[in-house]
Amino acid sequence: MWEIVQAGGWLMLPIIACSVVAAAIILERLWTLQPSRVLPKDLTAEVWKWVKNEQLDPRHIQALHQGSPLGQMLAAGLINSAASRERVKESIEDTGRHVVHELERYLNSLGTIAAISPLLGLLGTVIGMVKVFAAITASGVGNPGILAGGISEALITTAAGLTVAIPALIAYRYLRGRVDSLVVRMEKEAMKFLEALSQHKSADITGNESSEPIKRRA
């Protein structure tokens, strides 16, 4: 393996660095973007139970905010639950934009690695071919060892760049699709919760208004 790296020349070093960074990003994002971590099962139902039983307090909201990306969006709605429906929706959407940004963390870097790795390989190919033609100019075609060295450098760097770029691009597309899917599901859960919260507030207001005449008659 070390002999192959040496034969590929100094451009093998940035290609290897790209492979290490890409692998780290892929593993970290696969762990972070698990549906169970982003959208915990029955979280919305549990929060709604807190609302109906009037068990919400700052401790619950803080734990909800720190627990998951979906929890951050629900916590934003609960913090502003006393405001109008439009204000609650705006706070959820604003928090959602920050959550999406966190979910997409490092994906641009992964996409960049997928784009530049074959270019690094191509650069290695060009450098290797330049060495081949320089050797031909200096000593003609009578020394196959010199020619083979330049050609092997060109082929090795090209192969190494493609070996890094192909899985990086596949992972980038896959993780981008997973983020989009999770975002859609979070939006559905958040809007469902917002509708339920609005209906709950309307019911409370109606109940308070209907109790006023009873108090006056008493």
Residue from 77, 72, 78 nearest 54 by CA: 78
- pLDDT higher for 92 or 166? 166
Say which residues have a Cβ less than 8 Å from residue 116's Cβ, sequence separation at least 6.
18
pLDDT value at residue 2: 66
pLDDT 10s digits, 98-138 = 999 999 999 999 999 999 999 998 888 888 777 777 766 76
- pLDDT higher for 32 or 196? 32
Tokens at residue 93, please? 């959407």
Residue from 109, 114, 105, 113 nearest 32 by CA: 105
Whole-Å CA distances, 60 to 5, 42, 96:
55, 16, 20
Tokens at residue 42, please? 């029955």
Average pLDDT, the chain: 81
% residues pLDDT > 90 (the chain): 31
CA gap 150, 157 in Å, rounded: 11
Cβ-based neighbour number of residue 208 at 10 Å? 9
Tokens at residue 129, please? 């071919």
pLDDT 10s digits, 42-79 = 887 888 777 777 767 778 788 888 888 888 888 888 88
